[in-house]
Amino acid sequence: MKSVRAKPVREEAVGANQAAAVQDVQDLLGCLLFRGAEVLKPVAVLSAGERIRLGLARLPLGARVSVETVL
């Protein structure tokens, strides 16, 4: 199993809700300014602001977000 920090942004967002369509997740990530290859960036290399946006992306998908997950 991959650690959270090794997962790409898209995989982390999809993991929040396995029932979500990949296109819906990508649309949401695009609204939060994760576009193109940015959705393939590992969580470990994200800035603090990008991690906050990823945490917000997980909220509509039904995930519980803790400070440790975001930062």
CB 71 within 8 A of CB 47: no
pTM of the model: 0.74
CB 28 within 8 A of CB 62: no
Spans of the chain, pLDDT less than 70: 1-4, 17, 60-71
Cα distance between residue 18 and residue 61, in whole Å: 9
**What residues does 8 pair with on adjacent strands?**
42
Predicted pLDDT at 17: 67
